[in-house]
Amino acid sequence: MTEAGPANLQTQFSIGPFVTPNGFLSPQAQRLMLLIYNRTGGAPGVDMTYEVTQITLALATAQGAEEDAQKGIAAAGAAQGTASLALATAGEAQVTANEADSDAQKAISDAQDVLQTSLLTSALNKARADISISNAGALALARTIWPSQTSVFNQV
């Protein structure tokens, strides 16, 4: 016989004779005895010492698990504190890195300005030198006596 739920062990107390005139238990008494037998745990019975030991063991295991959970919560809190500190430090490092990047960009811009100024100065000096050479050449040409001019002087 299979049951979907726990057995219904409730019954009314039997009123009437427990024993038939033949000396056997009456059907009501048999049913009452069977219900008492089932209620007390069946044929092997229930060893309450064992049950108490098992309950105590389960309770100790549950308490140990709760202590471990409390330690885990404390460790998680400490880890969260460390992570928060690391996040703050990373934020400060990011600010410092941004400032360094800004300084580097300014230095690059300044170096480009110096390079442009140097190139412009160099180009100006080259242009002045070219003009000076050109002027010197023109002046030398103007003062040079050409062979055609020497024959005129020699004839005189």
Domain boundaries in the chain? 7-43
Task: Report the run of H or E that residue 15 belongs to, with start and end.
Answer: none
Residue 1: its pLDDT value, please? Answer: 43
Question: Cα–Cα distance between 35 and 73 in angstroms, integer?
Answer: 50
Angle at 128 between CA 109 and CA 141, to 5 degrees: 165
- pLDDT, residue 3, reads 46
**Predicted local distance difference test score (pLDDT) of residue 128:** 82
pLDDT value of residue 36:
79
CA separation for the pair 105, 80 (Å, rounded): 37
Is the pLDDT higher at 13 or at 100?
100
Secondary structure (DSSP) of 98-118: HHHHHHHHHHHHHHHHHHHHH
Write out pLDDT tens, residues 76-100: 999 999 999 999 999 999 999 999 9
Q: Which residue has the higher pLDDT, 83 or 129?
A: 83
17 falls in which pLDDT band (50, 70, 90)? confident
Which residue type occupies 91? G
Q: How far apart are CA 60 and CA 68, in angstroms?
A: 12
The two tokens of residue 77 are 């809190």
For residue 129, pLDDT over 90 is answered with no
If you average pLDDT over residues 11-27, what whole number do you get?
A: 82
Contact 16, 40 (CB under 8 A): no
User: Which pLDDT value is given to residue 141?
Assistant: 66
